[in-house]
């Protein structure tokens, strides 16, 4: 399901509201802990205990640990 909304000021922050049906479709429930991943032109939300979130955390750790080596290999 795709909808359009606007960023709104919420206190001293900016945010969006999500429809209950969108949350349900994505498998989220109020109170879930989520991972927020910012990419150019998009923001990805995933459950903190999801396989995707765990894979992204592992990738981030790997990239941080082997940054120099990967850069040299990419030449």
N- to C-terminal Cα separation, the chain: 41
Cα–Cα nearest to 53, from 24, 29, 33, 30: 33
Q: For 19-72, how does the pLDDT look when each residue is reduced to its tens digit (9 = 90+)? A: 999 999 999 998 898 989 899 999 999 888 778 778 888 999 999 999 999 999
Note the Cα 5 to chain centre separation in Å. Answer: 18
Q: Where are the domains of the chain?
A: 8-73
pTM to 2 decimal places: 0.58
């Amino acid at each position: 399901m795709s909808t359009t909304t606007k960023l709104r000021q919420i206190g001293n922050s900016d945010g969006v509201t999500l429809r209950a049906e969108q949350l349900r479709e994505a498998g989220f429930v109020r109170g879930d802990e989520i991972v927020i991943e910012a990419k150019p032109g998009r923001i990805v939300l995933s459950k903190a205990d999801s396989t995707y979130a765990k894979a992204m955390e592992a990738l981030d750790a790997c990239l941080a640990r082997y940054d120099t080596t990967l850069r040299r290999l990419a030449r």
